[in-house]
Structure 1
């Protein structure tokens, strides 16, 4: 597949906020400069938190912000593009196949540990301090059977390096910077890491643009790509939004949701300026 293919991948678990706007605007800019295609993927795997009203608001707010995507769900209800469906809740057949490929090649093992973080494994981490904790390998060699999550057996000591388009060279070491990670929750829902890798490959994504808080997730996903013999796309991690004092914004702030800012009369142009400037005025 020739040409640049980027993507924006919001989750309909709340209203989009200013930090989302920054990442998505940068993703659109990079697609336009490259003369490529921008894909919108609705990452609605977390059924306990995803809501139809958030999905509708997500599309409306992106259109209001004048972000244009060529493939994926539209405000009109259409879903153009040859690589759909573009909602992850409709792509479980693909995820099951990819998980099966990993199992057959010995990359996965059953984990029956009762860990509260498994309940949120389908969600993308939103901050370095909210990243998946380093798993101690309790079930790695136990041969656990029955109900439990599936974990990816990271190759201990393997170096994962890549040159990030926004932050420059990055290096992580498997087993030190992150441990064996979940690819399928105990309830059968694929994890964020697995679904991203499967979808980015299937949709022909050539560059992933997202926040710098997901750098470790990128390292994990590169290991999955290696295990599956998938090509690794380029990555561009954006600096995070900060306030006027240089402090990072809270992960979620109702006052900074695009919906709330619209209701206060803030214009799309003002939001775009704040988001691309990286600082809340």
Structure 2
């Protein structure tokens, strides 16, 4: 649990997504993020990751803030919302387009679901990594490589037209090893093109992807360490490629073990019985919820 060495003051963040009620797994992760920021004498931010307008709900955002406060997990600066930062994501998208890093993809969701993707690598010390994006076969990849002048005029035209109406993918460097040290699970290594392929950074319904938004936001707010669940270890490899393509400095990483229910399944927001709100209504104290969040499954 040692903190990473850094020449910069520690800056961490709590980043709930308001697509459902927070559960015990969130309590565990956010408590660790809070503990690490306070132990370092650093700053902790609150960001509401309400990027997806189709799934985010204001009521869930309000519940998340209330639950965090009830748990005693405070923060230091005024909260920000991803829904208010679209211009920054659009600017990053344009930089990636002009650099030849991303391209439009016409493949339908059905076509992608039919792909026979290879099994993902497993993070050392973690459970097999869940992932909802199959390894893309490169169907719509352009001829040019990132950084080449070939295709410059077409990329300029894409920027002028904007991202709406097409999916956009980041071109990964095939067979390149993406390595990083995780504060919880230790050294990690994923092979681009095998563990993951060209990944989405903007959807055809004009919504930026999680991968792009968190990179832009964490860099803009000077986050020095990202604390989150182990299900996002594979996303870290993707995001490191975005940091490099955008010329940004990446933070350190600390991924918390996933919390499982009695059936051995990881907790999800559909587990209403294990939501912080439900436990609170059943008479659990904040201290007990945090204690229970430190072990799984929940002992009644």
CA contact (8 A) 1:193 1:221 kept: yes
* Counterpart for residue 273 of structure 1: 291
* Root mean square deviation, CA, Å: 2.1
Is there any run of 5+ residues in structure 2 with no aligned partner, and where? Answer: 1-6, 113-127, 144-150
- The runs of at least 4 consecutive aligned structure 1 residues that moved more than 6 Å come to 142-146
For 1:1-281, what aligned pairs fall within 5 Å after superposition? 2-73=8-79, 86-115=80-109, 128-141=129-142, 147-243=165-261, 247-251=264-268, 252-281=270-299
What SS does structure 2 have at the residue aligned with 1:235?
strand
Q: CA offset at residue 249 of structure 1?
A: 3.4
Instruction: Provide the TM-score with structure 1 as the length reference.
Output: 0.87
1:77 — aligned with what?
Answer: none
Q: Secondary structure at the match of 1:217?
A: helix
Cross-structure match for 1:123: none
Match in the other structure for 1:80: none
Q: Deviations over 1:165-193 (max 9, x none)?
A: 00000000110100000011011110000
Q: Separation in 2 of the partners of 1:201 and 1:279?
A: 35
CA distance in 2, matches of 1:160, 1:135: 17
**TM superposition shift of 1:97:** 0.6
Name structure 1 gaps, 5 residues minimum: 74-85, 119-126
Shift of 1:240: 0.9
The CA distance in 1 between the partners of 2:94 and 2:205, in whole Å, is: 16
Asked which structure has the greater CA Rg, the reply is 2
Q: Deviations over 1:78-103 (max 9, x none)?
A: xxxxxxxx100000010011111111
- Count of residues paired in the alignment: 260
2:147 corresponds to: none
CA separation of 1:235 and 1:102: change in aligned 2, threshold 3 A: same
1:132 shift after superposition: 1.6
- In the alignment, the residues of structure 1 paired with residue 260 and residue 88 of structure 2 have an alpha-carbon distance, to the nearest angstrom, of 38
Q: CA deviation at 1:16?
A: 0.6
